[in-house]
Amino acid sequence: MTNERSVYTTAVHGGTRKDDVFGAINEPIYMTSNYRIPTDGTPVDWSGIHSNIYCRNRNPNQMVLQDKLCALTGAEDCAVFACGVAALTGVFIPFLNSGDHAIVSEVCYSATNLLFREYLPQKYHIEVTILDTTDTEAVRAAVRPNTKLIHVETPGNPTTGISDLPAIAAIAHEAGALLSVDATFAGPICMYPLNLGADLEIHSMTKYINGHGDSLGGCVLGKTELIDKIKEIAMVNFGGILSPFNAWLVARGLSTLPLRMAQHSKVALAVAEFLEQSPAVRFVWYPGLQSHPQHDRALKYMNGQYSGMISFDIKGSEEQHQKFLDALHLVTHAVSLGDIESLIVYYDKHSDKLPHYPEIYREGFFRFSVGLEDEKDIIADLQQAFEAAGII
Ligand SMILES: *Cc1c(COP(=O)(O)O)cnc(C)c1O
């Protein structure tokens, strides 16, 4: 954090502009696709990102959200997109050329996985090495003379694996490559990847930043020089921009992010501790638990809050796992994460979402996004569902 104010204060006031026309204390929503262009003969820069021409170039609601994100993270600049995947391609397309090599976390979001396994190598001849980035030496060994990007997801989705960002940043920079980090699982509050050496920090704002499960969104944070390139190429020319209304919704969600993260983290730690001692459970991965494989990195690189994402594996048959899901009252079986309410996803034995972790399929693997409910109520819900399914 470069800002001296508390994150709570910055989340409320950062980026906010005053409405000079009517004095409204909330940011108006600028539902406009285009703007009046000066008629004084000034040349128009159709692809420009610094003047009001068209909503794909820029929009005040996007700008307020970008400023708020910069204020909260200390980032120099920010670009916002319609969703997290648009933000990710907004990094990969401008910074990778045919013949370049990229190193990518094997545990990463399914669209990122598919892009690097298939589309980018097959259609654009980009060389890709997919490996476990929690293993720093494996990253070092994979560097080639043409390595231009190292893309790390940390904490990894859904394993919560924590990569050593400062060490990987040093490897990337020595090789003349950029380090991009998808830190969606930590939100921009539990970890500051830019302060740990990342060049670009990416979030699916659909998750913690918006937090209310009512809008998609994505952002990239970093130095102006890199972000300008992303805006010029990915926003103006590839599209994928965030609508003014959704930018407004996400900015509203962002105002309470530090408050929500504190509660998500507190409740998740209590739930993880409950799961760890439950006879129904085979293993739990939560960066805040001492038993987490990279707990020492979580202590160093997270801010004492470990977010709301837990992965765990339970005993029983597939039929019992389905019964467990069906018996949950408070917790909903749904794919997204980072919402105010608790959401859980089941990766059954046939799921192809975790190709590198076959050992976890032995029984029942779940990704749990712990919401803002009280820990006692969540724990009671899990306990009664384990019992209803006959797992304990
Ligand atoms: C959800 C998610 C994405 C994709 O974001 P969308 O907003 O759904 O496009 C990318 N990375 C991670 C880690 C995610 O959880």
pLDDT (0 to 100) of residue 4:
78
d(CA 379, CA 373): 10
Identify the burial level of 46 via C-beta atoms within 10 angstroms of its C-beta, where 0-12 means exposed, 13-18 middle and 19 or more buried. exposed
Distances (CA, A) of 323 to 48, 150, 256, 297, 329: 55, 41, 35, 36, 12
Q: Measured between alpha carbons, how far is 65 from 73 in angstroms, rounded to an integer?
A: 12
The rounded distance, in Å, linking the Cα atoms of 226 and 6 is 28
Tell me the best of 184, 200, 242 to mutate to test the pocket of ligand 1, counting ligand atoms within 8 Å of each CB and taking the most.
184
Model pLDDT, residue 1: 46
CA distance 354 to 356: 6
Is residue 272 exposed (0-12), middle (13-18) or buried (19+ Cβ within 10 Å)? buried
Question: Strands 127-131 and 147-153, how do they pair?
Answer: unpaired
- Series of mean pLDDT values for 10-residue runs along the chain (392 residues): 78 88 92 94 91 94 97 97 98 97 93 95 97 97 98 94 98 98 96 98 98 98 98 95 98 98 98 98 96 97 98 94 97 97 89 62 87 98 98 96
Reduced to 3 states (helix: H, G, I; strand: E, B; else coil), residue 361 is helix
Sorted by sequence, the CB contacts under 8 Å of residue 230 that are 6+ apart come out as 79, 90, 91, 94, 220
At 385, the amino acid letter reads A
Task: Report the run of H or E that residue 260 belongs to, with start and end.
Answer: helix 257-277
Task: Show the domains of the chain with their CATH numbers.
Answer: 7-254 (3.40.640.10), 258-388 (3.90.1150.10)
Distance between alpha carbon 204 and the CA centroid of its chain, in Å? 4
Whose C-alpha lies nearest to ligand 1, atom 15?
184
Torsion sign, CA atoms 264, 269, 274, 276 = positive
Say if residue 159 is exposed, middle or buried (CB neighbours under 10 Å; 0-12, 13-18, 19+): buried
CA of 84 to the centre of ligand 1 (A): 5
346 DSSP β-pair partners: 366
CA 185/CA 389 separation, integer angstroms: 29
What pLDDT does residue 348 have? 78
- Nearest CA to 311 among 332, 337, 329? 337
Write the single-letter amino acid at 39: T
Please name which of 216, 175, 174, 219 lies closest in space to residue 200, comparing C-alpha atoms. Answer: 219
Per DSSP (E only), the strands in the chain are: 77-81, 101-105, 127-131, 147-153, 178-182, 200-204, 218-222, 281-285, 309-314, 332-333, 343-347, 364-369
Residues lining ligand 1, judged by CB closer than 6 Å?
83-85, 109, 153, 157, 182, 184-185, 204, 206-207, 216, 218
CA angle 262, 91, 214 (to 5 degrees): 45
Pocket test of ligand 1: the residue of 88, 105, 109, 220 to mutate, having most ligand atoms within 8 Å of its CB, is 109
Record the pTM: 0.96
Check residue 363 and give its pLDDT: 81
Which atom, in ligand 1's list, is nearest to the CA of 88?
10
Q: Which residues contact 215 (CB under 8 A, 6 or more apart)?
A: 205, 206, 246, 249, 250, 253
SS3 76: coil
Rounded distance from Cα 115 to ligand 1 centre (Å): 13
